[in-house]
Structure 1
Amino acid sequence: MMRDIRFRSVLSIIVLRALVKHVVANFTLGANGTSFQCTDRGNLWCFGNASASPAGLMLTPIDRAIMAYEYYLWTAGMALSTTQIPLQKSESDPTRTSISFSTSFRFIIEPSDPNYRGDGMAFVMLSEGRQGFSGGSFGVFDRRGHHIARTLAIEFDTHENWDLGDENNNHVGVDVQDVNSKLARSAWEVSIDLAGSYSIYSWIDYNSSTQNLEVRISSDNAKPSLPFIVYPLNLFDVFHPDELVYVGFSAANGLCFNFYTVHDWTFSFVSDPEAIVQVSPPILPALPPEPGGGGKVQVALIAGVSLEFSFEQLCIATDQFGEESKLGQGAFGAVYRGQLPDTGQLVAVKRLNPVSNQGLKGFLAEVSIISQIRHRNIVKLLGWCKDRGNLLLVYELMPNGSLDKALFHPANPKSVLPWKLRFKIISGSADALYYLHEGWRQQVIHRDFKSSNIMLDQDFNAMLGDFGLARMVDHSQCPATTQIAGTFGYIAPEVAGSGRFTDKADVYAFGAVALVIACGRPAFLFKAPVEQIFLVDWVWEKLDQESLFDVVDPRLGEEFDAKEMKLLLLLGLLCSHPNAGSRPTMREVVEILGGRVALPLVPSSKPQPHYLSFVASDPHQSI
């Protein structure tokens, strides 16, 4: 059903060239000009789920009284101005010089759930008025991210698609002819959450003399003096000089959804392109503001860690939090490689996103848990910093990065993580998760167990990290949380169905990681054939076809232990059983991997789920 909705939306391709107004004009739409009008005689061509009202231009379904996921999944909307834009200054211009232009707009992106954000929106320039696919294609590109028409798009991306090379779930990018951005930058660097449910202002300027495209963003209506992105661009490398182009907006949702609204939009030709100020992007992100409230609670939680760092120390250690030092971007902040100036010790510094309330809650959750637990397969917290509004955590550095990078982005592209190390890593990960579930005084539900959260030390021992979504409960209570968390491909079906998260959901995620290690591909791969998008489903299908080893990572060749491989594949399926009650505990998983207990019988085909039978009725909640 979900796929049908997407295909019905995508296959409705509309060609507008015969109907469009061939009028050269500047325009202002929204609160400060003519209202947005999606009608035959209006100023916009709207298709897919786009619509207009006095409140603004809505790009996806707007009836918030209907909160059923089926109403929003795989939706896309596009709105293009009925005024086409000529790219050449004059048809008689012998130099064939392109126009310069400026456009500005205000938009709001509101996620249905802060942990599950839709894919995002884009300002677009198109050679043809044709709608693309939903999800990560933004309603602009085909299902594999390639152009349908000649395309220049500025994307405001709010969902991290690993297979599309996204840096994080909060970035701005320049897309030329396909969805893989030519240049992208995290919006966290200027303290902006694109899906923060508040107004975002954007300015896009193109100077034909310097052939530079500049993008600016701000949380207020004062245009920044410094551009956020500068991209060298010749418009005639994208479009034909003699064609007219459509300009407008497109937005899309996949398995998660946002509400997208454009409130104001101005587009104009620039008579004197030299009037556009040309400056370089800032090197350092702005210092975050002081988080509101909760200061005493923060200090109390962090006080369990003995070593306090100053912000100056960590600035020096990370080379002013420069891009060259950045190791990655998580849900609640960026992580930087650093070297402590006094001792020379290599560390990983996690810096909280300053504008995210959800990030603050995740930071506090991480501190409260990881400062208390000690295990050989869990990352060690070395210290903390609360200084001038900055909240940072300092960890021991894992020299071999994450399991995700070791499998898919090794330092040497030709290197393949050997089977012996893979089995060692999954065994250590099982030990860590077993300790969280049963080995400490309170049960800890991780809620985001995945390959990118498993770090690797110098000897490739697994070190579980990122406790920003974790929750603690007493062993005597029902271990259920009510806020959906996690990452696609690792989310247990009963969580999506009921919103309740237990230790058995962690077991499901462990099963997905086991299959990722054995198969050498991500748990969720949007570009894959339909039957292979979710790794767990694909492995079940191959087991049913009695061709289980077809899923083995081909890069391994025959360099693996067949008995261990079969064990891990079947254990991965058992842990990812559709019914939570049929999954083993992590204690049993550890014993199976250690050869102390035989693997229970695994069904020969994927069982039918019965999620509701597992939903706990105990009213106790986690803290």
Structure 2
Amino acid sequence: MSPHPPPCLLLFLLHLHLLPIHPTLSQSFIYTTFNPTNLTTNGNATITTTGILQLTNVSSHTIGHALYPHPIRFKTPHTNTTLSFSTAFVFSIVPRYRKLGGHGLAFTISPTKHFIGAQPSQYLGLVNVTTNGNSSNHLFAIEFDTVQDFEFSDINDNHVGVNINHMKSVNSTKAGFFVDGNVTKQDLCLHSGKKIQAWVDYDGENHQVDVYLSLFSNKPRKPIMSVFVDLTPVFQEFMYVGFSSSTGVLASSHYVFGWSFNMSGNASSLNVDQFPEPVLPLKKNNNTKGFVFRFGTTLFLVFCIFVIMGGVYIIKKFKIIKKTEAVESWELDLGPHSYCYRELKEGTKGFNEKLLIGFGGSGKVYKGVLPDSGVEIAVKRISRQSKQGQKEFLSEVSTIGRLRHRNLVQLLGWSRNKGELLLVYEFMANGSLDKCIYSGNKPKMILSWDQRFKVIKDVANGLLYLHEGWEQTVVHRDIKAGNVLLDSDLNGKLGDFGLAKLYEHGSNPVTTKVLKASPEELILVDWVWDKWREGCLLDVVDSRLKGEFNEGEVTMVLKVGLMCSNDEPSSRPSMRQVIRYLEREAPVPEIVGPSCYGVVMEIDQHAPALVKLKSL
């Protein structure tokens, strides 16, 4: 017998050695309950004791991922053809605050189980500001988005979108579903806390993605969205399937109850009724059932007492409503959360002056912490003597209370107590912009040019949303560095909507009065114009930057600022034009000198606002 194995045996053994060690174990699966062996989880994702996948809780700025642990073949190895697939899952989004979802979840197909560097909030834990849009992501996702991000052209804060490598959807639609036999689409609120079943089907031959939604177990006949998209350049041969979710300043608990997936036919629909109800925010529960049976007489007496007390309460409440009828009219339909006064008083340690972080003519602003959650907040306490403050309170609640954009300071809620008015905002760790750049020789910090340029673009995006992105045109009327707030990542957010006005789209707000700028601002604008005429525009740049800036960007920003400062509204660019200039999508036109700078006119819907040119 030969001491050496025959060549054919060696080739066979070598072939075995070269086979992939991670083939998919199954091309289909169905889970009506989860355990740690079913999913690979990371971030905030966890599997509850009842077998429910919880991607996020109500903590802010968190990410949760859960993926099937084995790769699945999505392409034929020789022809490179993308295969068809189908999936169904039941999910629920439970917001911490009524009507304020944050941020959403996505069914995703990815080449990896590890989303390194992915950011929360509007990025849904899939990409970050740098990788967003890269073809190397090889990422496919169906997003169930509960926040309108204007930078990604979101249609509203309750939509479903198809995303390819980018958080800007290639197509999206308002969430809803079709009942069989009815051609009318039924509305569906994604963050209602209800169990919702979703189906996603991809036809590899016809390159078509169909998305269905329903509150029931049966799959509707008609999808809410059909999109033609070829996933061949997106998919690699082996990919991972699963879910990603994130929260921002506002947070929701994102649950997945069951999941089915199939590469060789339609995924099995799930019985929605078999899953437990989502965990809703805790409410006080007074269980008196046993007491009723054992102490009927005592219960009757207690009932009588409550009837009497209830009558007194209703009478008092009626009187209060009569006294505050102007407020109650908007309060009934209010979006932001109503806080208990005692909760806010406790969170600010009795409005301790040591926690004072700002003040103005209408009141003071305190740093606070919500006792139950530990979330940091800013509480604006309106002065009882300030009639203007009361007007600003109503203006803030009726405007910013319904606005949702990453570059606007989020109003979390409000409180009223015996004539005292409180507004609750997200806490901005780095305070207002003016404290960073206009504090003489002792600023809070010295922002680099890149940081300043980013803040400028952040505020511009916020203004574009106000002017064009919401259901009405919002005119802020008080743009200044003191009203631009910086979060922990130095993202710029526009706040203080006390002077804001609302207009219908298509109307042309007529200036009713002029707004005078301070002498220092007018002198500074004239100074910048003088430097422009002299051909030494860069002399106005903040000397503390020590020459470390991009000359082209600074020149462009200064020119755009001068255009926005023109006293003729018709000569100012719209915010959409400003964004194009800032993003280098269009060249800045040659500017002409001003005719006069004695007053600053209120903006109309086509003009961005006065850019008060301070030293950059």
Interval of TM-score (by shorter of Structure 1 and Structure 2): 0.3 to 0.5
Kindly name which structure, 1 or 2, has the bigger radius of gyration based on alpha carbons.
2
Give TM-score scaled by structure 1 length: 0.45
